Amino acid sequence: MKVEDVMHKGTIYVEPATPVGEIARLMRDDDIGAIPVKVNKQLVGIVTDRDITCRALADSGNVATKTAKDVMTKDVVCCSADDDVEAAIEVMEAKQIRRLAVTDGHKTLVGMLSLGDISHKVSKNLSGEALRAVSAHHA
């Protein structure tokens, strides 16, 4: 099975200057935990709910002035739509991440792959293994 068979297409995104409050509202309204950050179709980062909590709130700065650029994770772990789902799961397990951006050869975002997507499309054994590995306590 390929990533394109499992991934979520039609991903929303924000620009680096998008206020953190607006990103949090998008997450709440769309029931998602991560929003990619793009500039001219190119993926430059991702803002997760954890980024907002740890980088915007816990750093005791003025959250009202923070933007995606201030809190985003810049080194986004990606996979290709043509990759095997099992290979993508191995990356998620190794990096202990719950979501992978899916990009084409030009680093253009084409979708997102989450543990939730995987749990709905692959065997219970494989999705359970992925969940256990990704959710393991960080050393």
Query: Does domain 3-135 fall into CATH 3.90.1170.50?
Result: no
Structural tokens at position 123? 């065997």
Are the C-beta atoms of residues 37 and 15 closer than 8 Å to each other?
A: yes
> What amino acid is encoded at 83 in this protein?
D
Whether the pTM exceeds 0.85: the reply is no
Integer Cα distance of 76 and 135 in angstroms? 19
Residue 128 has pLDDT above 70, yes or no: no
- Compare 53 and 137 and report the one with higher pLDDT: 53
Beta carbons within 8 Å of 124's beta carbon, 6+ residues apart: none
Are the C-beta atoms of residues 78 and 43 closer than 8 Å to each other?
A: yes
Residue 35, pLDDT score:
94
Residue 132, pLDDT score:
55
Beta carbons within 8 Å of 135's beta carbon, 6+ residues apart: none
Q: What is the pLDDT of residues 71-100, one digit of tens each?
A: 999 989 999 999 998 899 889 888 888 889
Please, which pLDDT band fits residue 134 given cuts at 50, 70 and 90?
Answer: low
Average pLDDT taken over every residue of the chain: 84
